[in-house]
Amino acid sequence: MSEYRGYQGISLEFLKTNQISVGDSVNILAEITFSGIIMPRYEHSDDKHIVLKLKSGYNIGLEIAKIEKIEKNQETIKIIKTDKKIEKVEGLPKILLLSTGGTIASKIDYRTGAVTPVLTAEELNSSVPELATIANIDAEVLFSEYSENIMPEHWLKIAEKIKEFSKSDYSGIIIAHGTDTMHYTSSFLSFALAGFPIPIVLVGSQRSSDRASSDAALNLIGATKFIIESNTKGIYVVMHQDENDDTIACHIGTRVRKNHTSKRGAFQTIGDNPAFLIVENQIQKNISKDFFKVNEFQPKINLDTKVALVKYHPGYDPDLLNQLIENGYKGIIFEGTGLGHIGKVMYENVKKANEKGIFLGMTSQCIDGRIGMTVYESGRDLLDLGIIPLENMIPEVALVKAMWAIGNYQNIEEVKKIMLKNIASELSN
């Protein structure tokens, strides 16, 4: 019953009685008159409301008891054909766009409410026609996953695919990615593909392309212009700088976090300004020439997921740490308090982990600043127990780097050494 998807009970009976289905364009008289498209509902929603997508792109819920009249709008919903072949423009740079899913790489079928991936360059051209005037885009879908479903095995697939183009004539590579875990993926690519000869840009969207406030097209256009005009290499995350459309920010892939759930300017460079800004189509550079430390491309595309990120808090059960040890974990990244502390209740199991040859790294729960484990006695005790201070490395980045380091280097001493080496600007000045 896809024409009534998600509706049940009172709401289902209401739609059937009025001969209305999901995807129908309707006019609804309630306290005021609404016009829009009936959208599907989540399977476990209540049965007293229907969902309407307004022409503005926003969804609203309408209480059935307050609806005086509903009638189907007879206007035909136009379906835009997107199978027209795009002609390549001689002289324009070439860019490869790899889609992994997420809001930016999707479109909505208003007849069904289904979100589907934008699969081809032709569909991209239809959605963002400005791209065809900037570059010749080749598009390929690797997979279509919500970002919370992107796992380390997906990182490996992305890296292996990108490696194929290390000697291509592309000016750069764009990865369309969901925003929630984008900085994890950018971190892994930064280590696995350090020294890649052309820029790699991850780009996402906080708001879907059907909404009037969508950032999808502007972020994608910004990413394309950045690749063409920045004359740089490295891995970046390109998103809105703030709620306005004037500025697009280009963040180093290992120095960025998503710091807001829904704002268009959700991504921020930690401890510094974004590496580049695109302001009124002009590229502003905020980094030095030697920002990326690795010049020679020697890919190391392996990892080991037996690494845990432990967020210490008052009342943390130290036996949880013991379970990680017994389950064969090879690395533990602590997200400690302040300058890099965890309670003394943890010390015994930290010592045990160190004796087992497990890599132990310390980061801070503070958004900004550096680890300083020699300042207080407790920090010095933890140093004696084998914990390595990771300067101002972001906890999530430290987790990913430890997975990568343990997957590529043979013993704990090599892992310790590489974790303290600044490979992809994960440690900032």
Active site residue ranges: 103, 179-180, 258
Specify the amino acid at residue 5.
R
Q: Of 359, 426, 427, which Cα lies nearest the Cα of 387? A: 359
Cβ contacts of 37-42, under 8 Å, gap ≥ 24: 37/77, 37/110, 39/113, 40/5, 40/6, 40/7, 40/112, 40/113, 40/114, 41/5, 41/6, 41/7, 41/11, 42/6
Cβ 39 vs Cβ 59: under 8 Å: yes
Tell me the Ramachandran region of residue 51: left when phi exceeds 0, alpha when psi lies from -120 to 50, beta otherwise. beta
CB atoms closer than 10 angstroms to residue 164: 9
CB atoms closer than 10 angstroms to residue 304: 17
Q: Show the 3-state SS of 322-344.
A: HHHHHCCCCEEEEEEECCCECCH
Q: Of 296, 215, 223, 212, which Cα lies nearest the Cα of 253? A: 223
Question: What would the two tokens of residue 334 be?
Answer: 């602590």
Q: How far apart are the first and last CA of the chain?
A: 58
DSSP state of 250: E
Sign (positive or negative) of CA dihedral 109, 115, 116, 122: positive
